[in-house]
A and B are shown apart, each in its own frame.
Chain A
Amino acid sequence: MTSLSRLKRRAVLATLACASLGLAVSCAPSSPDVATPSSGTSPAASGSASGGSAGGGSATLSGAGASFPAPLYQRWFADYNKENSGVQISYQSVGSGAGVEQFLAGTVDFGASDAPLKSEDKEKFKAKYGAEPIQVPMTGGTIVFAYNLDGVDGLKLSRDAYCGIVTGQITKWNDPAIASANSGATLPDSEIQFVHRSDGSGTTFGFTNHLKAACPDWKAGASKSVEWPVGTGAKGNEGVTAQIQQTPGAIGYTEFSYAKENGLKMAAIENKAGKIIEPSPEAGAVAFKGETIPADFALLVPDPAAAEAYPISTLTWVLLYPEYKDAAKKEALINVIKWSLDSGKTAATDLGYIPLETELAGKVETELGKIK
């Protein structure tokens, strides 16, 4: 009995050893293949290796916050790293709320938020650090109505139409309020399936901020998450996008860049001046033209008055400390932001964001000068 089981155990051990050997053997030839792409794709890794030789300033910065500008920030920071290999910036898109929290706690070098700092957060910051936080806009975004309706291209939505959809007063696609603006199109007699974000997000903040200003019957207020009168919730811009793609008769709001990338149809909507405007970063940028910028840069334009402005545009901010002990860090941070607002403009347009106007960018640069 015992000898038999011992034999068995030995056999098992042997096969185990074989398996692990086999793994090791099969692994060995492939390891160089694995190593090549990894060093190629991560500029951070190669940057650290050549950091010393670059000669310029070297610093490692970390930031966290808003997810809406995350694709752009990551692109900017990677591009900047290619030119200045000594400076590495890591950005975690953990959400604006968490970004502000980490910024207040002092665990990051900069925070990022889709909504300006609340006064209570500013108080908290002042109490802890003894000075006002520095808040500057980095880029803007356009929020669009994306929809899925077979055979209907170039849907136009009047104010009454889209307000009715989000408040639940309009439930059918062939409602007169929608049909009156789309004379050529055949609208189906089907239910409107409204899709909104289920997670807290800056996109929702920008969207509801507009609804609050534009729709008299909108009662839910403006926030990163609100109590929706109708619709289903999906997580993230990608979740909303997937749900719209899948559901005939669906309409929802997403960032312009997501809708564009995924080939969703976007509705043109009526602005305050009564013109129906196609969504685009250019039309979105018009919204911020000529607006007076408050001292803390908390510029919100919930319902722009300009005749050519696309009505739903929003800015996104980075949060900086008034004082950095590490001079190299401070230098690098200011340079990155300046570079992003200037040389980073093309990347912003590429990705569907609204680059800041030269005048506003100039003001941001002056503000950066206040950092000690």
Chain B
Amino acid sequence: MTSEPISHSESLVESSQRFRAPRLINQIFRWLTLALAVGIGLVLVWITYSLLSIALPAIAQFNLGFLFTQVWNPVQELYGALPQIYGTIVSSIIALIFAVPLGVGVAIFLSEDFLPRRVLTPIAFLVELLAAIPSVVYGMWGIFVFIPAILPILQGVHKAFGWIPFFSTAPSTRQMFATGLVLAIMILPTIIAISRDSLISVPPQLRQGAYGLGATRWETITQVLLPASLSGIIGSVMLALGRALGETMAAAMLIGNANRVNVSLFAPASTISALIANQFGEASGLQKSALFYQALILMVLTLVVNMLAEVIVNRFQQVE
């Protein structure tokens, strides 16, 4: 780890001469990268500013009440974001409920030596390919394959557990729950790939130590490997949540775009990004500004998620 001592004074002089020109390049490179880094920050500020400036009429008119009102009425120019905020958060939670256990489970399987590497590597590769499927394809697949396939199951759930408010309406062909499931599939590769990487990078000494103390494989996984890689796993979940919150195309195609809060998950709902994608084309005036207000909310929502991820990851890293 310690840097190598320079043995001869000659070589130091020699090297300093040799590096004079590169030093200038170093300087240029440094300033260039600095400018680029600052530029990225400025782009963020710029986007936020332009969102804000267009959203301003809506913010002035509806204030924070916008967040808690269930109305989207372009005729009377009354707007609120409650159904969209609700739909965005609930569909993402459904996605996480299914994707986290599944994703972490697959990550554990892929990082352990249950099967020979030549079997595991293709599986890992296929999982990552899931991430390469465009979301409009997920949307089409959802409409024509996935939802028709799971609808009978959901109908069974509705018949058996209809007394639970979440399942109280007959499953619609466009609905919150199925959208959540498709989102789960979309965010799986993120969770699996990053969790697997962090599980693999747990120092082998920890594992060997646990085995040496007589722990079984089960105990090693649950009490040593998972806690040690927790920061990475949580990071992956937060990234996945970010994607689920912002997912536009698949949500717009599957969720049913009903601007109402409905407790039943089998009923159509709406998300922020779906509403924007749907109505932006024909919107003008206050409606456009209300859409930008929604975009601002989505941005803040994802920002909070990212900051939360940062805090959690830091905390767990300190525990290690």
Contact = CB atoms under 8 A, between A and B. Distances in A.
Nearest to B282: A200
B135 interface: no
Contacts of B143: 242, 246
Contacts of B277: 235
A98 interface: yes
A95 B148 CA distance: 31
Contacts of A246: 143-144, 148, 173
Given A97-B284, A246-B173, A227 B71 contact: yes
A224 to B, nearest CB: 5
A233 B71 contact: no
Interface stretch (A77-85, A191-199, A364-372): A191-199
Nearest to A244: B173
A243 interface: yes
A292 B56 CA distance: 43
Given A226-B73, A227-B72, A233-B257, A98 B170 contact: no
A232 B257 contact: yes
A224 B268 contact: no
Interface in B98-130: none
A97 B281 contact: yes
A225 B258 CA distance: 12
Contact of B173 (A193, A220, A228): A193
A94 B74 contact: no
B174 interface: yes
Given A101-B284, A200-B282, A200-B283, A223 B253 contact: no
Contacts of A220: 73, 75
Contacts of B278: 198-200, 233, 235
A223 B282 CA distance: 11
Nearest to B174: A232
A234 interface: yes
Contact of A231 (B258, B274, B283, B287): B258
A96 interface: yes
Interface string B48-83: 000000000000000000000001111110000000
Interface string B146-179: 0010000000000000000000001011100000
A220 B277 CA distance: 22
B201 interface: no
A225 B287 CA distance: 10
Contacts of B258: 228, 231-233
DSSP majority for the A interface?
Answer: loop
B293 to A, nearest CB: 16
A228 B74 CA distance: 11
DSSP majority for the B interface?
Answer: loop
B174 A235 contact: no
A222 interface: yes
A200 B75 CA distance: 12
Nearest to A220: B75
B257 A221 contact: no
Contact of A227 (B73, B281, B284): B73
A24 to B, nearest CB: 25
Contacts of A95: 281-282
A199 B274 CA distance: 10
Contacts of A97: 281-284
B229 interface: no
A222 B74 CA distance: 9
B252 interface: yes
B180 interface: no
A232 B277 CA distance: 16
A235 B75 CA distance: 19
Given A246-B143, A246-B173, A225 B279 contact: yes
A221 B173 contact: no
Nearest to B274: A198
Interface of A: 94-98, 100-101, 191, 193, 198-201, 220-228, 231-235, 239, 242-243, 246-247, 250
28 contacts: A97-B281, A97-B282, A198-B257, A198-B274, A199-B279, A199-B281, A199-B282, A200-B74, A200-B282, A201-B282, A221-B73, A223-B74, A223-B75, A224-B74, A226-B73, A226-B74, A227-B72, A227-B75, A227-B259, A231-B258, A231-B268, A232-B257, A232-B268, A235-B252, A239-B253, A243-B173, A246-B148, A250-B173
Interface of B: 71-76, 143-144, 148, 170, 172-174, 252-253, 256-259, 268, 270, 274, 277-279, 281-284, 287
Given A191-B170, A243-B173, 16 more contacts: A94-B281, A97-B282, A97-B284, A98-B281, A199-B279, A199-B282, A200-B278, A200-B279, A200-B282, A220-B73, A220-B75, A227-B259, A228-B259, A231-B258, A233-B278, A235-B252
